[in-house]
Amino acid sequence: MAAQRPPSYRAPVTATGDETAAATRPAEPSIRRRPLWAAALAGAAVALLGGLVGLGGAEFRLPLLIGVFGLVALQAVIVNKAASLLVVVAAIPSRLAAVPLDVVAAHWFVAVSLLAGSLPGAWMGASWATRMRAATLYRVLSVLLLGIAAVFAAHHLDVIPHLALPTAVQAAVGVAAGFGIGVVAAVMGVAGGELLIPTITVLYAVDVKLAGSLSLLVSLPTMLVAFFRYSRDQAFGVLRANGGFVVAMAAGSVAGSVAGGLLLGAVPEVVLVPLVVVLLLISALKVWRHA
């Protein structure tokens, strides 16, 4: 005779990859309740620091979203992406005023090469992020923060050699680099300027000022692709449920970015570069510990 099963018995169900990933993060957004001025101040502070060294500040905003405001990994990435998107949109007019549109348009080959890789890279990066277990995503974010610290230090120490490649090879390398940057930007919720600017200056031999404008033209469509992909995930509800928080942080980020840009060069690089590298390393450690 077959053994009687208790009434509460349920046969085990094997979860798919998507279901496993979804089970590792909360279905409802869970921002710790903080005053909106705290969100605006945090956004302004990290953007100010980023602006002083030519970054958007999203690299520093991500650890704050996780450690201070209590978001789990994917929710923090999505909020970071929304704030970064608004910062990029706000920065485009001032960049076009600094570098005329006809000068930027003359380097269309740079933008097209990078976009050919960054657009599919952004889609795939966002897809991977939504399917990762939360613990895995924390570790990936930590490793990427370490990588950005290394690229940032190498770029400012001018130890990356400039490449002189044939046009066809340059285009192929640009597509491959764009794909990798698109993946990283999507997974971290950043604009990608910290990787795009060194890539453009090294690969295409343009000055940093023009590279900054070109990076924005690549970043915006790349971010929109990742943002659309994230909108299909349940964690996207963090934006709908916490609109005031997101707007306050984005507004602070825009203000801080503008202030940092105006103060660019006011603090010596010999002070700023080590400070930024140390902060990125600390951020990487703190995000890793969340796993």
Task: Name the domain count of the chain.
Answer: 1
Burial-class residue 172 by CB neighbours within 10 Å (0-12, 13-18, 19+). Answer: middle
In a domain, 19, yes or no: no
Angstrom distances, CA of residue 273 to CA of 115, 149, 276: 29, 10, 5
- Of 74, 47, 44, the C-alpha closest to 58 is 47
In a domain, 117, yes or no: yes
Distance CA 287, CA 67 (A): 8
The predicted structure's pLDDT at residue 79: 93
The predicted structure's pLDDT at residue 27: 43
The predicted structure's pLDDT at residue 265: 66
In a domain, 127, yes or no: yes
Give the helix/strand (H/E) hosting 35.
none
138 contacts 67 by C-beta, under 8 angstroms: no
Q: Among the residues of 132-242, which ranges form H helices? A: 134-156, 167-188, 193-204, 208-230, 237-241
Distance CA 58, CA 70 (A): 17
The predicted structure's pLDDT at residue 28: 46
Which residues contact residue 168 at a Cβ distance below 8 angstroms, ignoring those fewer than 6 apart? none
What is the distance between the terminal CA atoms of the chain, rounded to a whole angstrom? 47
In a domain, 17, yes or no: no
The total of other beta-carbon atoms located within 10 Å of residue 143's CB is: 13
In a domain, 206, yes or no: yes
The domain in which residue 272 lies consists of 34-290
235 contacts 132 by C-beta, under 8 angstroms: no
Distance CA 151, CA 181 (A): 12
Burial-class residue 67 by CB neighbours within 10 Å (0-12, 13-18, 19+). Answer: middle
The predicted structure's pLDDT at residue 125: 96
Distance CA 206, CA 202 (A): 8
**What does the radius of gyration of the chain's CA atoms come to, in whole angstroms?**
20
In a domain, 15, yes or no: no
In a domain, 217, yes or no: yes
In a domain, 212, yes or no: yes
Tell me the per-residue pLDDT of 81-104, one tens digit each, with 9 for 90 and over: 999 998 888 887 877 777 788 888
pLDDT digit of tens for each residue in the chain (291 aa)? 444 444 433 334 444 444 444 444 444 445 666 788 889 999 999 888 877 776 778 888 999 999 889 889 999 999 999 999 988 888 878 777 777 888 888 889 999 999 999 999 999 999 999 999 989 999 999 999 999 989 888 877 777 777 778 888 999 999 999 999 999 999 999 988 889 988 998 899 888 788 888 888 899 999 999 999 999 998 898 898 888 998 999 999 989 888 877 776 677 777 788 888 888 899 999 899 886
Tell me the per-residue pLDDT of 239-273, one tens digit each, with 9 for 90 and over: 988 889 989 999 999 898 888 777 766 777 777 88
